[in-house]
Amino acid sequence: MSTKAALPKRSEHYSEWYNDLVKRADLAENSAVRGCMVIKPYGYSIWEKMQRALDDMFKATGHTNAYFPLFVPKSFLEKEEGHAEGFAKECAVVTHYRLKANPDKKGALMADPESRLEEELIVRPTSEAVIWNTYKNWIQSYRDLPLLINQWANVVRWEMRTRLFLRTTEFLWQEGHTAHASADEAVKETEQMLDVYAEFAEKFMAVPVFKGVKTANERFAGAEETYCIEAMMQDGKALQAGTSHFLGQNFAKAFDVQFSNKENKLEHVWGTSWGVSTRLMGALIMAHSDDNGLIVPPKLAPIQVVIVPIYKSEEQLAAISAKVDEIRTSLISRGISVKFDTRDGMTPGFKFADWELRGVPVRLALGERDLQNGTIEVSRRDKERGEEGAKTVANIEGLADTVQNLLEEIQQNMYNKALAFRTANTRNVDSYDEFKAIMARGEGAVSGFVLAHWDGTGETEQKIKEETKATIRCIPLNAPEEDGVCIYSGKPSKRRVLFAVAY
């Protein structure tokens, strides 16, 4: 077993660092199918933790899961004009339903020309069309509302430039689709789910987020209003981590979904949709990890504690193992997940580096002398090697308490660090020259977030994007009213909006 080369340094090659880390920490890899990824077992186990936590939150807010078809008939996509415009472009089109032996090439297969579909099927890029076509039959009366449904599914968007987790042709996500009797109720739902996403990002992922609404240019195709959460990555770029859309009556009108209200009059239903995807894995990695590898917050860590034995003989290992059994039992009884790394033929140093790469929050190392002293070495992954408190010695007696408290402390510390970084790199800017200078910072320096005045027009937004690559990530919710002038046009503005270069 050879020791592995170090990762590229974040300060020098951020995107290579990311790509290497994703592969080397066994999170995901590119597949033989262009733009589609394989989510490897370790990466998938983190995604499963995310799913479980989100699913619990969806259910606690009254939603249930269901499943709708993978395929969308082409004609469905034509129904909601804005939606078709935004989504119909880059997608996988199924045109045939059978393969047959290729008569011109032995052993080869070909699409059977006789199996051509009358109407092409699109692999869902999102499911509004299929779901609203179904809701038509489920909703007749106000008594059938609200309808609060979520789906965990795969979707396909034919991306030209892909990156593991961040932008892939196929990805996994959840998509909530709700139907309501009033605009007011639908807006409340949209906002509630945004809050759920923000809470998940902050409490589980340890990633602080800005909540806001998108400008008209950046709105979801078919929505009246798109709410989003925006997170800052370590390179200062923004990552949109979740969106929640108020659909108005657009899909209800496109698919003719009406209900009779309490006055027995027909009205179109009001809708929302909201989703987060495996992109969150990218956010998690880029918000926290370091040059030694991944750092996973304890609440999402598939393995929270790893125990590495330090031994020179089989007898020593046996004595250590007996003590480790006790430790494991006491940790597991508190719901802490533990791995005892007994792999043979690897040095403790190799194992330490391996678990660092995978971001396990707490590492315990136990050797012969520790056994005699009743102590154990405790390392926390959220601190840098050599940083004060990164490595301590604890008593084995009471260790479960020590570890439980430490896991909570790590979770909180990771959030605090990410928040401090974001705060340090979020600037109020009042001149376009300063804005351009900040956005022009190269790799190694951080542009971060800029709060600036904007005149509210799409033209200005577009010009700034062309000139600086920065986009308006959102108009923050609850941004204080403040008289100012647009940094670009000098026209009056009532509040600052959030700019950044984004993933």
Residue 164 DSSP label: T
Tokens of 9: 């340094």
Query: Using the rule CB under 8 A, which residue among 21, 121, 320, 407 binds a copy of itself?
Result: 121
CA neighbor of 363 nearest in space, from 342, 381, 346: 381
- Piece in contact with a copy of itself (CB under 8 A), picked from 121-129, 183-191, 266-274, 459-467: 121-129
Q: Residue 435 — φ and ψ, nearest 5°?
A: -55, -50
Residue 72 vs 327, nearer CB to a copy of itself? 72
Residue 325 as a binder of a copy of itself (CB under 8 A): the answer is no
Judged by beta carbon, residue 212 or residue 222, the one nearer a copy of itself is 222
33 touches a copy of itself by CB under 8 A: yes
285 vs 233: CA distance, rounded Å: 9
Check binding of 153 to a copy of itself (CB under 8 A).
yes
What residues from 175 to 214 belong to the interface with a copy of itself (CB under 8 A)? Answer: none
CB of 1 to a copy of itself, least distance (A): 8
322 contact partners, CB below 8 Å, separation of at least 6: none
Q: How far is the CB of 8 from a copy of itself (least distance, A)?
A: 21
Minimum Å distance from CB 136 to a copy of itself?
10
Euclidean distance between the first and the last CA atom of the chain, given in angstroms as a whole number:
36
DSSP one-letter string for 271-303:
EEEEEEETHHHHHHHHHH-BTTB----GGG-S-
Which residues share a beta bridge with 267? 259
**Nearest-approach distance from CB 118 to a copy of itself, in angstroms:** 10
Residue 133 binds a copy of itself (CB under 8 A): yes
Subset of residues 39 to 78 that bind a copy of itself, contact rule: CB under 8 A:
39-41, 44-45, 47-48, 64-74, 76-78
Take residue 53 and report the two structure tokens written for it. Answer: 């936590």
Residue 388 and residue 367: Cα distance in Å, rounded? 22
Q: What mask of x and - would describe binding to a copy of itself in positions 1 to 30, judged by CB under 8 A?
A: ----------------------------x-
Footprint (CB under 8 A) of a copy of itself, residues 92-111: 92-100, 107-109, 111
Residues 73-92 touching a copy of itself, rule: CB under 8 A, are 73-74, 76-78, 81, 84, 88-92
Within 8 A by CB and 6+ apart from 168, the residues are 35, 36, 37, 159, 162, 278
Residue 424, number of CB atoms within 10 A of its CB: 10
**Residue of 493, 478, 481 whose CA lies nearest to 212:** 478
Binding site for a copy of itself (CB under 8 A): 29, 31-33, 36-41, 44-45, 47-48, 64-74, 76-78, 81, 84, 88-100, 107-109, 111, 115, 120-123, 130, 133-134, 137, 149, 153-154, 156, 158, 170, 172
